[in-house]
A and B are shown apart, each in its own frame.
Chain A
Amino acid sequence: MPRITRAAAISLAAATLLTVTACSGGFSSESPTPITSESANKNPVTVLIGSSGDAETTSVKTAVAAWSAKSGIPAEVKVASDLTQQATQGFAGGKPDDLLYVSTDQFAGWAKNGSLEAYGDQLPNKSDFYPGLVSAFSYDGKFYCAPKDFSTLALVINTDMWSDAGLTDADVPTTWDQLEAVAKKLTKGKRVGLAFSPEIARVGVFMAQAGGGLLSADGKAQANAQPNVDALTYVQKLLKEGVAAFSSDLGAGWGGEAFGKKQAAMVIEGNWITGAMTSTYPSVKYTVAELPAGTQKGTLQFTNCWGIAADADNKAGALSLVEFLTTTEQQLTFAKDFGVMPSVKSAAEQYKTDNPTMVPFINGAEYAQNLPSMPGAADVLKDFNSQLTGLKYKDPKTILDSTQTNLQAIAG
Chain B
Amino acid sequence: MATTPGLERTETSAPTPRSHHARLNRQQAGAGWLFVLPMVVVLGIFLFLPVVMAAWVSVADWTGRGAPWGSNVSFVGGTNYAQVLGGQGLAGRDFGTSIRNNLYYVILVVPLQTALSLTLAFLVNKRALKGKGFYRTAFYFPSVTSSVAITVLWLFLFSASGAINAFLGLFAITGPNWFQDPRGIIHLILGGGDGPAALQQPVLFGISTWEWLAGPSVAMCAFILMAIFTTSGTFMLLFLAALQAIGEETEEAAMVDGANAWQRFRYVPLPMLRPTVFTVLTLGTIGTWQVFDQIYTGTRGGPAKTTLTPAYLSYDAAFVSQDWGRGAAIAFVLFGIIVIFTIIQRLVLGTGGIDRTTRRELRSARLIAQASIQAKGGGDVQA
- The residues of A with any CB-CB pair to B shorter than 8 Å are 1, 4-5, 8-9, 12-13, 16-17, 19-21, 24-27, 29, 84-85, 88, 91-92, 94, 105-106, 109-110, 112-115, 248-251, 310-311, 375-376, 378-380, 382-383, 386-387, 389-390, 393, 406, 409
Question: Whole-angstrom distance between the alpha carbons of A12 and B43 in the complex?
Answer: 11
Interface string of B43-83 (1 = CB under 8 A from A): 01100110010000000000111111111100000000000
User: Per a CB cutoff under 8 Å, which of A5, A106, A248 touches B303?
Assistant: A248
Given A249-B177, A378-B320, A94 contacting B44 (CB threshold 8 A): no
Once the chains bind, are A383 and B90 in contact (CB under 8 Å)? yes
Once the chains bind, are B161 and A17 in contact (CB under 8 Å)? no
Task: Give the most central of A24, A109, A376, A379: most B CB within 10 Å.
Answer: A379
Once the chains bind, are B322 and A375 in contact (CB under 8 Å)? yes
Interface string of B68-103 (1 = CB under 8 A from A): 111110000000000000000111001000000000
Once the chains bind, are B49 and A91 in contact (CB under 8 Å)? no
Question: Whole-angstrom distance between the alpha carbons of A406 and B29 in the complex?
Answer: 59
Once the chains bind, are B65 and A109 in contact (CB under 8 Å)? no
Contact residues in B for A92 (Cβ distance below 8 Å): 64-68
Once the chains bind, are B177 and A94 in contact (CB under 8 Å)? no
Given A4-B29, A389-B182, A409-B89, A248 contacting B65 (CB threshold 8 A): no
Given A13-B48, A21-B69, A389-B182, A88 contacting B89 (CB threshold 8 A): no
Given A92-B66, A386-B305, A17 contacting B49 (CB threshold 8 A): yes
Once the chains bind, are A88 and B90 in contact (CB under 8 Å)? no
Once the chains bind, are B322 and A88 in contact (CB under 8 Å)? yes
Contact residues in B for A378 (Cβ distance below 8 Å): 320-321
Contact residues in A for B89 (Cβ distance below 8 Å): 406, 409
Once the chains bind, are B66 and A248 in contact (CB under 8 Å)? no
Which residue on chain B has the smallest CB distance to residue A28? Answer: B66
Once the chains bind, are B49 and A16 in contact (CB under 8 Å)? yes
Contact residues in B for A310 (Cβ distance below 8 Å): 65
10 pairs of A and B residues whose beta carbons are closest in the complex: A251-B160, A113-B63, A109-B322, A27-B66, A386-B304, A16-B44, A248-B180, A386-B305, A113-B65, A389-B304
Q: Decide yes or no whether B26 CB sits under 8 A from chain A.
A: yes
Once the chains bind, are A5 and B29 in contact (CB under 8 Å)? yes
Once the chains bind, are A91 and B320 in contact (CB under 8 Å)? no
Q: Decide yes or no whether B302 CB sits under 8 A from chain A.
A: yes
User: Per a CB cutoff under 8 Å, which of A249, A386, A406 touches B302?
Assistant: A386
Contact residues in B for A94 (Cβ distance below 8 Å): 66-67
Contact residues in B for A113 (Cβ distance below 8 Å): 63-65, 322
Which residue on chain A has the smallest CB distance to residue B67? Answer: A24
Contact residues in A for B71 (Cβ distance below 8 Å): 26
User: Per a CB cutoff under 8 Å, which of A26, A84, A112, A409 touches B63?
Assistant: A112
Minimum CB–CB distance from A100 to chain B (whole Å) comes to 14
Given A12-B44, A16-B41, A112-B63, A251 contacting B70 (CB threshold 8 A): no
User: Per a CB cutoff under 8 Å, which of B29, B45, B91 touches A1?
Assistant: B29
Q: Decide yes or no whether B159 CB sits under 8 A from chain A.
A: yes
* 15 pairs, A vs B, C-beta closer than 8 Å: A16-B48, A16-B49, A29-B72, A84-B319, A84-B320, A88-B322, A92-B65, A249-B177, A250-B160, A251-B161, A379-B91, A383-B90, A383-B305, A386-B303, A389-B304
Once the chains bind, are B66 and A26 in contact (CB under 8 Å)? yes
Question: Whole-angstrom distance between the alpha carbons of A115 and B41 in the complex?
Answer: 32
Minimum CB–CB distance from A397 to chain B (whole Å) comes to 13
Q: Decide yes or no whether B335 CB sits under 8 A from chain A.
A: no
Interface string of B115-126 (1 = CB under 8 A from A): 000000000000
Which residue on chain B has the smallest CB distance to residue A250? Answer: B160
User: Per a CB cutoff under 8 Å, which of A1, A311, A406 touches B90?
Assistant: A406
Once the chains bind, are A379 and B70 in contact (CB under 8 Å)? no
User: Per a CB cutoff under 8 Å, which of A1, A20, A24, A249 touches B25?
Assistant: A1
Q: Decide yes or no whether B135 CB sits under 8 A from chain A.
A: no
Contact residues in A for B45 (Cβ distance below 8 Å): 16, 19-20
Question: Whole-angstrom distance between the alpha carbons of A406 and B305 in the complex?
Answer: 16
Q: Decide yes or no whether B33 CB sits under 8 A from chain A.
A: yes
Q: Decide yes or no whether B40 CB sits under 8 A from chain A.
A: yes
Once the chains bind, are B26 and A390 in contact (CB under 8 Å)? no
Question: Whole-angstrom distance between the alpha carbons of A109 and B323 in the complex?
Answer: 9
Question: Whole-angstrom distance between the alpha carbons of A376 and B326 in the complex?
Answer: 12
Question: Whole-angstrom distance between the alpha carbons of A25 and B69 in the complex?
Answer: 10
Which residue on chain B has the smallest CB distance to residue A310? Answer: B65
Question: Whole-angstrom distance between the alpha carbons of A24 and B177 in the complex?
Answer: 48
Which residue on chain A has the smallest CB distance to residue B25? Answer: A1
Question: Whole-angstrom distance between the alpha carbons of A376 and B316 in the complex?
Answer: 12
Once the chains bind, are B305 and A249 in contact (CB under 8 Å)? no
Once the chains bind, are B70 and A115 in contact (CB under 8 Å)? no
Minimum CB–CB distance from A121 to chain B (whole Å) comes to 22
User: Per a CB cutoff under 8 Å, which of A9, A19, A85, A379 touches B319?
Assistant: A85
Contact residues in B for A375 (Cβ distance below 8 Å): 322
Once the chains bind, are B177 and A248 in contact (CB under 8 Å)? yes
Which residue on chain A has the smallest CB distance to residue B165? Answer: A251
User: Per a CB cutoff under 8 Å, which of B48, B49, B90, B302 touches A380?
Assistant: B90
Contact residues in B for A250 (Cβ distance below 8 Å): 160
Question: Whole-angstrom distance between the alpha carbons of A375 and B64 in the complex?
Answer: 13
User: Per a CB cutoff under 8 Å, which of B25, B65, B303 touches A114?
Assistant: B65
Once the chains bind, are A91 and B65 in contact (CB under 8 Å)? yes
Which residue on chain A has the smallest CB distance to residue B50? Answer: A20
Contact residues in B for A27 (Cβ distance below 8 Å): 65-67, 70
Interface string of B309-321 (1 = CB under 8 A from A): 0000000000111
Minimum CB–CB distance from B314 to chain A (whole Å) comes to 14
Given A20-B45, A378-B320, A26 contacting B67 (CB threshold 8 A): yes
Contact residues in B for A251 (Cβ distance below 8 Å): 159-161, 177, 180
